[in-house]
Amino acid sequence: RLANAVTPLWRLPYQEQLQVKYESQRKILQALASRLEELGIDAQKPGGLCCPLQPVVPSPIINGYRNKSTFSVNRGPDGNPKTVGLYVGTGRERNIVCVKASHVENIPSKHKQVAQCYEEFICRSPLDSCILFHEGGHWRELVVRTSRCGHTMAVVTFHPQQLRQEALATQKALLKEFFTCGPGAVCALTSLYFQESTMTRCSHEQSPYQLLHGAPHIFEELLGLKFRISPDAFFQVNTAGAEVLYQAVGELCQATGDTVLLDICCGTGTIGLSLAHQVSKVIGVEVVEKAIEDAEWNAAFNGISNCEFRSGKAEAVLPQLLASWEDARPLVAVVNPSRAGLHYRVVRAIRNCRAIRRLLYISCKPEGEAMRNFLELCCPPDPQKKLAGEPFVPVLAMPFDMFPHTVHCELVLLFTR
């Protein structure tokens, strides 16, 4: 049941998985064409698509490709409330159970090893796991990040409840001892972090990540560059797949030596930095401050001097940046937002900036909020919505399989005007 929930295509041969994903992307492009027709835009291409669809680009690695895994703590099938794994069931039906992920094919063995050791640690602890915040308990989820450089970072989330600082310090010392001198030492952690969190998700600003052991960052190599990764920084979950994706993005940008590349939702700067040698300048925008710090470090470490990074919400930074844009150089935009898509003010700023003639939208969920963005980019000018700029037209769709065994796909849509 867990394999079916987390990796629903795991039983299919890989070529069949790619075909399933191709069909799902085709339906998305058909839906976009229909929605554009409703707006009075003739977008029907052969097959009822809004633009040509390329075959799904396969992932270079099919099993154990994830470089980041998040494990929950909850009751297992045997009733053990300190089971570390992934969920089966739903909150609505009140049948959630936490199942060890030892057989799940997209998770690497190192992540499974750290999860097993964390379970052993919390089972030895006199403190309860925190299943429902209001019912007490402390031990919560575990995030494991690894890199091709052989680095492993573990981040333990802990609900402090009413514990005093001395008691907290004791728990941190015990956790560190277990992973450095005890049974957990087999994991050979590069970094061990601890975060006290009274919320489901906490940013570093809300509750700082506390380094208990090792280096503050792990490092990854991608397209000949070295990248520094913080506990909460975004990095594509499939590193080998990301290399293929970024190389294709570089080709689709058609950037020349005088192009300025606008990298929106840039994370640790991977896209902009990997394409910096093709363009005259890269401007990255990212809301996570620690990711911007990583991006700046990455640029300096790799000797890349034509990149600048702006910290803040894209909807605050971008309108200001583009409203006063007077640079005569060609401007190409690449956007890689979360599943929530782009804020309307970001789309409006892109539409109203005449200098942007080419836009690449990378979406991990094109059928979701990204669809709203596609329509906003392509609809006729609308004075009421302050969309004055010439509309974009989708000209090519290229799906990338970044998530083998799952139904998900990373879709790159190229828009021009």
Annotated binding-site positions for S-adenosyl-L-methionine: 236, 286, 336
Pairwise CA distance, residues 350 & 337, whole Å: 14
The residue from 117, 130, 364, 409 that is catalytic is 364
Residue 322: exposed, middle, or buried by beta-carbon count in 10 A (0-12, 13-18, 19+)?
Answer: buried
| Residue 364 is a catalytic residue | yes
Rounded distance between C-alpha atoms, residue 327 and residue 331, angstroms: 9
CA distance 397 to 410: 10
Evaluate whether 188 touches 144 at the Cβ level (below 8 Å): no
- β-bridge mates for residue 195, sequence order: 157
User: Taking a C-beta distance cutoff of 8 angstroms, is the pair 116, 154 a contact?
Assistant: no
CA proximity to 367, closest of 10, 8, 23: 23
Pairing outcome for strands 218-222 and 68-74:
unpaired
The Cβ-side half-sphere exposure at 393, using a 13 Å CA radius, reads 10
Q: Give the whole-angstrom CA distance, residue 19 versus residue 141.
A: 35
Which of 247, 241, 297 lies closest to 269, judged by CA? 297
Annotated binding site: 236, 286, 336
| Angle at 140 (CA atoms; ends 364, 201), nearest 5 degrees | 45
CA nearest to 120, candidates 96, 100, 103: 100
Phi (first) and psi of residue 277, to 5 degrees: -70, -15
Query: What backbone torsions phi and psi does residue 112 show, to the nearest 5 degrees?
Result: -65, -35
- Please give the order of strands across the beta sheet that includes 191-196: 97-99, 83-88, 68-74, 139-146, 152-158, 191-196, 210-214
Residues recognised as catalytic = 364
